[in-house]
Structure 1
């Protein structure tokens, strides 16, 4: 009966949130601004342009080839949008009235945080695609605290989402685990064919590097997924687990033949991809695992999630989830909720409902 009462509480909370969303925007469309019109930003624009309930009011990008042009032309939408791309951040801080800024410039907090802090201080709520912002409390606690305090002080909400981290490697496993009465371990595997991914994803995998150059870059955090351990930390936090240790490894995958992509040429013997593995342990037992295998021509791309528990759950997504399209969709779908969310630094499980918060209880 306690479980049923909790679910009734959840449904009532969801109903009230929906009413709050409708009241906040009654009689008008949501106003969204773009900060970054790269691969993800272009996908966001294409999705928003199909939605009658959202109005794009501004766009910002540092690329001089985009500045001064109509946003529709920049993203090759096939029509103009009446929004001129600017390079001046002040446009978003005080120049336009927006409900939410969609921020997609960098996976690294060192780049994103100087852009985000002025926005938050001005009271602008933000949805970001920054990988290191999805759950920064373990890896960047000082910056997480600063961003949270700035947002709360100005009444703004800040949420970061993405395909990984932010969905496949943390939120989705937690959602599946909600069907278990007991959870012993969460195991996630991603197999990605980099030949089908955009240039930015290929570059992050170190395509075309020598093996030695890759390993040196990996030691400096210049290649690979920058926040894989953050997915482990997020799952542990939501499960109520204290991890005794977390470890990560990253290794290059060598090309066995010559490849040509739109962005680069990869010779045989050079880097064709990577394997990156993050693990969290409770005692000596592996409790959390995120294993990413990404290389050119990878056969059978897919996402696989195993929940060891009672019952045991196995889920598989054949073909895998396209990184940038999924990230854009997650950002767009989060717009109404973030527009009325409580102030502060949120994470994706805050918008999933309360299931994830109760798994470990």
Structure 2
């Protein structure tokens, strides 16, 4: 809402969280009121210091009670996957604070574990609050872009999205070392496929439901390619013979026909076995209907490692006002305006 101010707390300061924190501090409508961190060496430090800005007077804490006591209108909930906590999320929601989260799996309420869904919806009801999960990658490419393109169609056959993500300059050593430079025998392909079905599948189901063509079935696969030579990247070495790229493919079907398909290739090296063709970071989208379309979205290469955290952080930041003003409950991209505010 124009002219209205929003009290915002940042939860976690990793690759995406630190970008979100900086944007909250600089946003013309937001007031930073809390900062939750996980690393001991960040506790007690000023939020501005942590993200390279001037002092804000808001210091980092590990205590959820301090975050709740600040009474934020919205908490930007962005922990790593193994640090997410439904208990914490429910406490935030029932305290009266909305949540915008990059934790995957929340954009489609029907895909959530029934017990988790019941707890989250009950917390929203008690707090009069909303939860918006920004979706896979996040939901810009799996939700926002499809909705924008499909408004051009009256007969819709299928949409296919191919993503390529060069992570070699990403400043997230903990994240990268979990999935790259590892023994291929230890790569859990079944888990990769299951994660894709749960996370990407939730995003695809949300859009299909919004268009009244629900997905009846989903197939998901995961595979790897190994580096053919030792390669130095920004934060680690990827030895020859270790995992240098991952690919997940997921397809959603309506009445037996492919409706949505999504392919993601994440890589840190280009010299691979098998010799996958890996494109520069971006997406290719193919729409088949009465108005067929092909679209490429590519990012500028200059300074990519510096500004790339915004790919995941900016959509959540831009959604805060809309989420705070929305109905209580689990929200979808299809029902939010998601209009950014660029006032100075």
TM-score range, shorter chain: 0.7 to 0.9
* Secondary structure of the corresponding residue to residue 38 of structure 2: coil
Q: How far 1:343 sits from its partner (Å)? A: 0.8
Q: How far 1:211 sits from its partner (Å)? A: 1.4
Match in the other structure for 1:84: 59
Q: Does 1:300 align with 2:280?
A: yes
Runs of 4+ in 1 over 4 A off after TM superposition: 221-226, 320-323
Distance 1:304 1:184, change over 3 A: same
Q: How far 1:177 sits from its partner (Å)? A: 0.5
Distance 1:132 1:200 in 2: 24
Q: Deviations over 1:265-285 (max 9, x none)?
A: 211111001010000123442
* Secondary structure of the corresponding residue to residue 317 of structure 1: strand
Contact 1:103-1:128 at 8 Å conserved across structures: yes
Q: Does 1:291 align with 2:263?
A: yes
Match in the other structure for 1:144: 117
Match of 1:103 among 69, 72, 77: 77
Match in the other structure for 1:66: 42
Contact 1:205-1:273 at 8 Å conserved across structures: no
Distance 1:223 1:285 in 2: 21
Distance 1:338 1:201 in 2: 31
Match in the other structure for 1:40: 16
Distance 1:179 1:145, change over 3 A: farther
Distance 1:153 1:237 in 2: 27
Distance 1:195 1:183 in 2: 37
Q: Does 1:282 align with 2:257?
A: no
Q: How far 1:69 sits from its partner (Å)? A: 0.8
Which ranges in structure 1 are unaligned for 5 or more consecutive residues?
1-20, 354-361
Range with bigger deviation, 338-347 or 158-167? 158-167
Q: Deviations over 1:253-304 (max 9, x none)?
A: 2112212223322111110010100001234421110011121244433211
The residue correspondences of 1:161-310 to structure 2 (distance < 5 A) are 161=134, 164-199=137-172, 203=176, 206-214=179-187, 217-221=188-192, 227-296=199-268, 297=270, 298-310=278-290
Distance 1:317 1:301 in 2: 9
Match in the other structure for 1:328: 313
Q: Does 1:123 align with 2:96?
A: yes
* Secondary structure of the corresponding residue to residue 168 of structure 2: helix
Distance 2:174 2:295 in 1: 25
Q: How far 1:127 sits from its partner (Å)? A: 0.9
Match in the other structure for 2:336: 351
CA-atom RMSD in angstroms? 2.5
Distance 1:251 1:222, change over 3 A: closer
